[in-house]
Structure formats: structure tokens, C-alpha cells
Structure 1
Amino acid sequence: MTTILQGPHQGTATAHGEEALRPLLDALRLVLPFDAAALLRRTGTTLRPLACIGLTEEVIGHRFEPERHPRLARLLASATPLRFDADCALPDPYDGLIDGQPDLLPVHDCMGARLHVDGRVWGLLTLDALTPGAFAAITPAQLAAWVAQVEGGLAALDKRVPVAVPAGMPPVIHAVDRPSITPRRELLGRSAAMRHLREEIAIVAPSDLSVLILGETGVGKELVAQRLHADSVRRDAPLVLINCAALPEHLAESELFGHRRGAYTGATQDRLGKFELAHGGTLLLDEIGELPLAMQAKLLRVLQNGEIQRPGDDRPRRVDVRVLAATHRDLRADIAQGRFRSDLYHRLGAYPLHVPTLRERGRDVLALAGAFLEEMQHRLGTRALRLTPLAKEALLAHVWPGNVRELEHVISRAALRARAQHPDHPGRSARWISIDTQHLGLGSETLSAASKPDLASAPPTGGTHAPTVPPHLGLREATEAFQRDWLREALTRHAGNQAAVAREAGMHRSNLFRLLRRLGV
């Protein structure tokens, strides 16, 4: 019913997103012949990819433990950049994660370096070239020089100043926030909806405005609240979470405001309420739409004057609390039906935030799946878990009525099923366990037209019709049939304009061209 996160979370990470850090890798690509590169931020004992080139989408959700990845451990332990021999026997952390290389990585060149900012270890830069010998001509001095430029770029981003770069590398200038405390999980995703949400959080988090967090069940409203608190000036004070739906009506006042001894039958001692526990920090009222009307009036009074009064106590007490509220309900409809106070709605909703559904987030499902796979891998103590191309297609095609929470449960079950079929054996040559469509256990709703956020067609007009899928096809064939039908419809609507179709599909034009060629459209 109530959760208190006392003080800051363990570990910090920069607020730099991929938008800020990707140009550093783009600049390196002008002078180094790599096929894949990553900037990994060290957070506690893990390495977290913040920006990547040439790696699959789910990599952003992974967290690498150096003790499980000897190449990364050696890079962290080395004071100078390292280049691994092309035939190095150490397993590569990106096996199964290089874009276009679903199998074990062949013999290839790999190098990297530990990165420092302000004299502290920031993380790692890793570079991979699929052509053996691609890095042979790069001297240690040259590599060290480029690593120094990356470190300078990271330092400049932290200090909000331009970074000087040598000829041939474009300048990288971005204004970003200082490092902040990070919740246990993060707001992953590259979709426009998630970028907009992060921008809104960055705007309102430093203020003391009340925030009303709106969204369906399972979208991550509590995670948004944690992010708001972590990025606020109250980050070092408690974040107190209380589920209003679980509050018994006769105890709600005591839970929120506390009570004096003897105020109720059974009140044998003074008790602090959640407002006092959150003093100086943040209080999240989850499922605020379930709060009884009588308590809504008392809550409004606290929000208006910043004072609480414990039952059984005549003396009001001042509280300094930032209030966040979350709900999956349509509060405007509840107001119209007399179930929610309009004055409380406007007091709580000084800055409303809409958390997008998973259906609105397109290919973010792959990054989230990668994060959940990494969690399950550590929880089970098993080999790396990787999605097959068909499994990725199935995840992208699913409706996700349960949003991120449903995805987490699907991935957890799939990991268990896959491990049961492929138990770990000391002599097994495979470096990971593949998760395929049969492990996901997704129902027939996977192929619903509403399930394609990256290929969402406009309502049929004129002579067009909704794409249909023959029932006798297997999953892969049915998915391709749906995509083929949708693309033909979209090309007809846009008179063959591939740029317009790419915009409607929410994908890059080059990716659309490859998809058209693969499907023979």
C-alpha cells in the first residue's frame, strides 16, 4: 500500500541521452573503420549502453556486468586503450547483438578504451569491425588521441560548453543537464512519444508544481514519478508512494495525516501520516481516482494551505511536500458524474503528463524486451538470452493491451521456457539461449491491424480495404502477408510516394526501402 524510498537511489548516471551522445560516435565514424560502436556508462557495477551504432535496437535496454564479460572487464582494468586479436578466444559481449549478424560473431577486430571525465571513470568506448585487420593500421597513439577527443566531448556536455575537435571531425555542442539520481529502472525508448515525455519531465521536474500522471494500467506511471523526484531539488529527501485504491475508507485519513493516541479505537500511540513522512520530499498518490469524496475534500485543504491536522490533535502542522498523483481513470468523466472534485483535479493537475501506451511507442518494445531479458538472465544465472528475428517480429506485431507490464511478463515466461528447452551445459558451444516465437506464447491477437504501431494505416477511404491475413499461414508468413498488404495499400494512398509511406509507418525511408525489397512489393 505504501512505499518509502528513503533518500537517493544508489548509483548515478548522466542525463545524457542518445540524442546528445550519438554525434560523438558519428564523428569517430569519419576517421575509424568500425561497423559497430557503443558508449557504455558505468553505473555502480554495471555498464549501461547510452549510444550505439551498428547494434540491434534491444541493446539500449541491456546492462552488462563486467564480471560476466571478460572483454569489458579487461577494458575497464586497462589504463590505456586495448585492441584484441582478431582470433581472441574471449567471448564478445555483442554476440547476437550486431545488426545484421544474428549468429555468433565471426573472426573480427575489436578494440576499446576506458573513458574518464573529471578524473573519474565514466565508462567505456567499444569499437568492432567485422573485417579482420580493419584496425591494424591504427596506432596506439592515434587511438589514444581519438579517445581523448571523446572524453573531451563528454566533459563538454557535462559543463554545457562547446568542445574543440580536430579537422575532419564536426563540432559537437549540446546543452544537457548535470548527472542526477537514477531510479532502478529507466524510461527507455527512442519513439517520438517517449522523447516528448522525457522532454516534459525535464521541464517540470526541477519545479515544485503538482503533476498529474495519466495513462493506462501498466504503462509505467510510478516510474515517471520516480524520475520526477530523482530530477528534482528534493532528490535527497524521501519519495513516499501510497496506493489510494488500497486505502480502507475508515483508515484513509490516518494513513495520510496520521493520528494522535486515543483518536480511534485501537489508536494506542501517536502515528505519523504519509504527508509527514514525506516532509521535504515528494508524495505520490497512486490511483488518486479511487480516493473517497470525503477524503478528497480534506486532501484539497492540505494542498491549499500546506497544513495537516492529525485526527485527535487540535494543532495543525506545517508540511513541505511536493505532491504527484497518478491515475488510469478519466477524471474529467468522473467529475461529470460527481465521483471526483473538479477543484481537486485542477489543484493536482498543475502540470499533467500523459504516459504513452506501448501501442504508441512502436519499436521501443525491442529495447524494453532487451532490458527484461537482461534482468531475467541475471535472475536465472543463465547464459545470455537473445531474441530471434521472428520473435522480434512477433513482439512488434502484438497488441499489448497490458502495456509494459504485460511485455515484462511475456519475456519472463519466455526466458523460463527457453531455458527449460536449452539448459546450460559446461560443454555447450552456444554462447546464448535463443528465444523464439513458441517461447513467447502470444495469442492470435498478435496479428491484429491495431498491433502494428510502426505500420499503422490510416482509416480506409475510397476503394481501400483493411489488410487481411489468411488464417492458414504460419506466424512468419502471416506477418509478412500483413506487412505486404498494408504497404500496397499505403503506396496506393500516397501515389507511390515512399517518403510519405515511411512517415506514416514511423520508420526511416532506407528501412522502408529494404522492407519493400525483402517483401517484393
Structure 2
Amino acid sequence: MTPPSLLTALLPLMADLAQDLPEAERHRRLLQTLRALLPCDATAMLRLEGEWLVPLAVDGLSRDTLGRRFRAGEHPRFAQLLEAPGPVRFAADCGLPDPFDGLVEGVQGHLPVHDCMGCALRVDGRPWGLLTLDALEVGRFSRVELDVLQAFASLAAATVVVAARMDGLAARVEDERLRADSYARAGGQAPRQLIGHGAAHKRLLREIALAGPSELCVLIQGETGVGKELVAQALHAASPRAKRPLVSINCAALPDNLVESELFGHVRGAFTGAVTDRRGKFELADGGTLFLDEVAELPLPVQAKLLRALQNGQIQRLGSDREHRVDVRVIAASNRNLAEEVRAGRLRADFYHRLSVYPLQVPPLRERGRDVLPIGGFFLEEARVRMGLGGVRLDAGAQAALLAYDWPGNVRELEHLLGRSVLKALGRHAQRPRILTLSAEDLGLASPAAAAPKIEPAAASPGGDAAGAQAGLREAVAQFERTMVEQALERHGFSWAAAARALQVDPANLARTAKRLGVARR
């Protein structure tokens, strides 16, 4: 007969099956009930995506765990749970490494001897994911009936099935699986994904879910380093073109004399060095999606030719009088205010309006609150694998420093900072530690305002009207950019490549910006 405690715990979850709950809330309730039923210090629910296990919800583990990705083959405990027909209780002195070593809240450094158990969640007879439980007290799970965990896992699997049948969820899961498979085949590394749980991130996902399945041209705008390319990949994955290619091109990295050839292709003899016919990006993306990054850097004559391709799908290879018709959806991105670029005459108005059929703004990292921790967890896991470490964790001071920082360089700055900090922290140890703990000192975060050059305020216009104020703002922004570029060049001995790295921009982009600002080469 079912124990009353088990029945009492499972009844609310059974009632939840009939409710249309958000995915995150459904997972939270599952883990909350699991901890009430089987008291433990940490528990996690992970979904299997290809060969990677992705944490969906955690309780008792550091929040940055949600941003990590675990390759099942690299973690023997996970692999054993996936292969076992039922729940597994590991011996307290089990020699297999614990994947959550260094991530349990309240434990500094290496996990002591502890109890661990878990089981696979199966849907249609195949492993869908895992439930794991850790207890710091040895022997706490010795009296636990494995049948209780199996009953809970069966209900959890049923919850998964119900959630998968909710409107739009099945399609999104399939898109994510296809993208993960393609990344795994390409490089064997965990795919980069949009990570987060905050309100700003959820708004962005809603926009992607709305615009992705359409054929509309999307203009992604946001500061440098916010992840515009990941948004473009998510839009492509959510579209009917997901099984066709996504072709990307960085417009800022193309010399002016090669832009047309890269976009539209060329025929043999079109220019010096054109020894064979060559297809351009539009033809390569036929049936799929073309992502134009830094689209504001395109020269005006190329914008006119692109406009024709956007309107009717007709392109013409350089040096040829024959027209080709392509079926391509275009997604563009820029870190500039394109409406201002139109007013300044650097962007055609008709080209801008054709690109911005569906404008999509990506929020900067400083507006995403606590999402900085799971995003940082993803980069720490990459660094752990790259450095061959057993684990990398953030102490409380480091987490507070990440949350307090303003992130002028956004997610890209976070990635570089954490990679650099892992290296610095390793240098503090005479012997390579199994679990590397990063402190606020290792991060070395300074106030961005302290490093920014001082800009004298622009003089007010004689009439004090709106036009004069706008002109003053434009001049102040231009002066700020000019000062940043000149100081970076001076610090690096007028090496343009080194200055571009310091400013976190492409060298070709820096050259164009310097030319626009009137910064002379030396």
C-alpha cells in the first residue's frame, strides 16, 4: 500500500498536470516536492540534449549551475544513471567524481564524503534526463526505498510529457535539438545558447518566438557584445527554414572592393584574381537564412544593390549580366542607431526601412539582473574543460562583484573576464587544485566610470532649441568615440590591431570608425 507521505507529496503534482504552468515553475515545484519527500541538501533536474546534460532546475546548488553543460560521457555517475533501468544509490565512499563537486551551496571547496542517488527520467522508453540528489550526511539515503524515487521519477516523466504537449513547446524543443546536433557534429563542443531566467530574457524569448516562424526581415539592435548572433541563430532555429543553412557574414570585416563579390558572387575574370566562378552568400543561403552582422558598415552603392535582392530575390554575380533568383530570409544586426545613421546620410532610408520590418532590441547585460550568474556558469564550464580542471566555482564575493558590475562590454566582456580570471587564479596555486575557487580579487573588476575618458560638455546652441541639443549630443558622442580611439592607439604604440583588441572591435570596423571620426593614421 502506498505510504501516506508519498501520496500526500504526489497529489499536488498530479493536480499540476492539468494546469498550464510555465516550464520553469513546473520544474521548481517538482524539485520542491522531491526535497520534501526525500530530505537532501541539493537536487537537480537535467535534460538530455544529444550527448549533453542541461540543468533545467536546481535546489541547493549554486545558481551558476544553470548555465553549465555536462557531457554525459565525461561524468561516470551521470552515465551510470542514464544506463541503469531504475534508481541508483551510490556508496558514500564511491570513487567516481561528483559532477556537482564545488557547486553545493554551503560547502567551500571539495565535497567531503557524502550520500548521492539519482535516476533517469524516461519518455517513450528512452532517457529524457536525470534527477539527482546529494546529502552531506553520510548514510542519510540508506533507509530510503528506491521504489519511492522510482514512483516520483515516473510522475516527473509524466509531467515532462504534458509540458511537451503545450502549445509551441514541442516545436521549440525540436529546434533546440536540431541546433545542438548540428553544433555537436561541427565541433564536439557545447553549443552556445541564449541563457537566462530574468524578465528581460523572457521578453526577448517571446519576441523570438513571435518573429522566428515568420518570413519577415528582422533587424537586431543592441550594444556590442550582447549576443546578437545568438539571437539570429535562435530566430533561424524557430523558423520553417531551420533545416536549411544559416549563412553569416560580418559586413565590417569586408574590404570595400570585395563586398559585392562576397554577397553576390563573381564570374571568372570579373577582377584580378577571379580565376573561377564563385557563388556569393545569397546563393549559399538559398532556402535558408542570411545573417548580415554590422550591416551599417556596408557602403552606400552596395546598399542599393542589396535593396533589390531584399525586395524581389534577384541577384547578379559581379562581372555577369545574368540574373539569379534566390529564396533567402535576411536577418540583420547592428550596434548603431540606424535611424541616426539615415539622418547622417551614412545609410539609405529605403534600405533601413526594408531591413527593419521587425525591429528587435537585445537588452544589455547590466539590465538582466541575476542572469549574469548562469551566463557566467556557462563560460566557467567552458574554461574548466579547456584547462582540464575538476571544477571551477565562484565564491560569494565573486558572485556579488559580478552582480554589482556595470558590464560596458556585455556578455563578451563577461566571457573574456572569466577566462582571464581562471588563468590568474591558477597562478596563485603552487599545485594545480582539483576545484578552483574564484574570488572577487581574481576578477579584478573596477568601476567602468573610473576608466572612461572625461568628455567636456558640448556648448549649448544659441537658440537652445531641440535641433541644437541633438547636434550637441551627436558631437559629444563623436568626441567620446574619438577620444577612446586615440587613447587606445597611444597606449598600444599606434598598432591598429592591438588597439582593436583592446576596444573589443574588429580591426576593419576600427579603421572605418577612425576614418569617420577623422583620426589620422601614423
Same fold (TM over 0.5): yes
Query: Equivalents in 2 of 1:266, 1:67: separation in Å?
Result: 48
User: Is 1:408 aligned to 2:405, yes or no?
Assistant: no
Q: Distance in 2 between matches of 1:177 and 1:226?
A: 13
Alignment map for 1:50-449 (pairs within 5 Å): 50-160=56-166, 177-180=172-175, 181-182=178-179, 184-422=191-429, 424=431, 431-445=434-448
Tell which deviates more after alignment, 220-229 or 255-264.
255-264
| Residues 245-276 of structure 1 deviation map (CA, whole Å, 9 limit, x = unaligned) | 12222221121111222333433322111100
Q: Distance in 1 between matches of 2:318 and 2:70?
A: 51
Q: 1:446 to 1:343 in 2, by over 3 A?
A: closer
Q: Give secondary structure in 1 for the equivalent of 2:369.
A: coil
Please, which moves more after superposition, 220-229 or 260-269?
A: 260-269
TM-score, normalised on structure 2? 0.75
How many residues end up aligned between the 2 structures?
418
Q: Deviations over 1:433-475 (max 9, x none)?
A: 1112222222244999xxxxxxxxxxxxxxxxxxxxxxxxxxx
Residues 227 and 234 of structure 1: CA distance in aligned 2, closer, same or farther (over 3 Å): same
Percent identity (aligned): 54
Contact 1:160–1:176 (CA<8 Å) still a contact in 2? Answer: no
* In structure 2, C-alpha distance between the alignment counterparts of 1:301 and 1:19, rounded to whole Å: 47
Partner Cα separation in structure 1 for residue 159 and residue 406 of structure 2: 41
Say if 1:352 and 1:390 are closer, same or farther in 2 by CA, change over 3 A: same
1:333 positional shift: 0.7
Q: Deviations over 1:76-126 (max 9, x none)?
A: 232210122445454432232223333444554321101222222212111
Change (3 A) 1:407 1:45: same
- 1: CA distance between counterparts of 2:312 and 2:97? 61
Q: How far off is 1:134 after superposition?
A: 4.2
Q: Secondary structure at the match of 2:260?
A: helix
Residue in 2 that maps onto 1:516: none
Which has the higher mean CA deviation after the structures are superposed, 399-408 or 26-35?
26-35
RMSD: 2.5
Counterpart amino acid of 2:436? I
Spell out the pairing of 1:40-51 with structure 2 (5 A cutoff). 40-51=46-57
1:24 aligns with: 30
- What displacement does 1:382 show? 2.0
Measured against aligned partners, the alpha-carbon deviations of 1:384-404 in whole angstroms (never above 9, x if no partner) come to 111111111121222211111
Tell me, yes or no, if the aligned pair for 1:206 and 1:231 is still in contact at 8 Å: yes
1:271 & 1:80 partners in 2: Cα distance?
56
Q: Determine helix, strand or coil for the equivalent of 1:182.
A: helix
Does the 8 A contact of 2:425 with 2:438 survive in 1?
yes
1:475 aligns to what? none
Unaligned runs of 5+ in 1: 1-15, 162-172, 449-521
Instruction: Give the direction of change, closer, same or farther, for the CA distance of 1:412–1:178 in structure 2 (3 Å limit).
Output: closer
Report the CA distance between 1:359 and its aligned residue: 0.7
Cα displacement string for residues 303-332 of structure 1 (whole angstroms, at most 9, x for unaligned residues): 111111223322221101110000000001
Q: SS in structure 2 opposite 1:179?
A: helix
38, 41, 57: which one aligns with 1:35: 41
Distance 1:95 1:398, change over 3 A: same
Aligned residues of 1:263 and 1:311 also touching (Cα < 8 A): yes
Q: Distance in 1 between the 2:211 and 2:376 partners?
A: 29
Q: Verify the 8 A CA contact 2:172 2:238 in the aligned structure 1.
A: no
8 Å contact from structure 1 (residues 399, 446) kept in 2: no
Q: Which residue of 2 aligns with 1:164?
A: none
Query: Match of 1:432, as an amino acid?
Result: I
Matches of 2:268 and 2:109, distance apart in 1:
67
SS of the residue corresponding to residue 363 of structure 1 reads helix
* Partner SS state of residue 195, structure 1: helix
Local SS of the residue matching 2:70: coil
Deviations 1:54-77 (A, max 9, x none): 221100111223444332232223
What secondary structure is seen at the aligned counterpart in 1 of 2:304?
helix
Deviation of the 1:224 alpha carbon: 0.9
8 Å Cα contact 1:118/1:155 also seen in 2: no
Match of 2:479 in 1: none
SS in structure 1 of the partner of residue 32 of structure 2: helix
Match of 1:470 in 2: none
Counterpart residue type for residue 363 of structure 2? P
Rounded to whole Å, the distance in 2 between the matches of 1:281 and 1:176 is: 18
CA 1:218 to 1:235, structure 2 compared with 1: closer, same or farther past 3 Å? same
Cα 1:329/1:82, change in 2 over 3 Å? same
For 1:22 and 1:134, locate their aligned partners in 2 and report how far apart those are by CA, in whole Å: 23
Classify the secondary structure of the residue corresponding to 2:65.
helix
Q: Write the distance in 1 (CA, Å) between the matches of 2:376 and 2:254.
A: 33
Alpha-carbon distance in structure 2 between the residues aligned to 1:244 and 1:20: 43
3-state SS, counterpart of residue 122 of structure 2 = strand
Amino acid at match of 1:24: L
Contact 1:422 1:433 in 2 (8 A): no
Are residues 432 and 40 of structure 1, via their aligned partners in 2, closer, same or farther at CA, if it must alter by over 3 Å?
Answer: same
For the residues of structure 2 that align with 1:246 and 1:431, how far apart are their CA atoms?
41
Q: 1:423 and 1:19 mapped to 2: Cα distance?
A: 45
**Structure number with higher helix proportion:** 2
8 Å Cα contact 2:102/2:392 also seen in 1: no
The normalised TM-score by structure 1 is: 0.75
The secondary structure found in structure 1 opposite 2:46 is strand
120-129 vs 212-221, greater mean Cα deviation: 120-129
SS across alignment from 2:201: helix
Change (3 A) 1:423 1:159: farther
Q: Is residue 51–residue 73 contact of structure 2 (8 Å, CA) maintained in 1? A: no
Contact 2:389 2:434 in 1 (8 A): no
> Which stretches in structure 2 are left out of the alignment for 5+ residues?
1-21, 181-190, 452-522
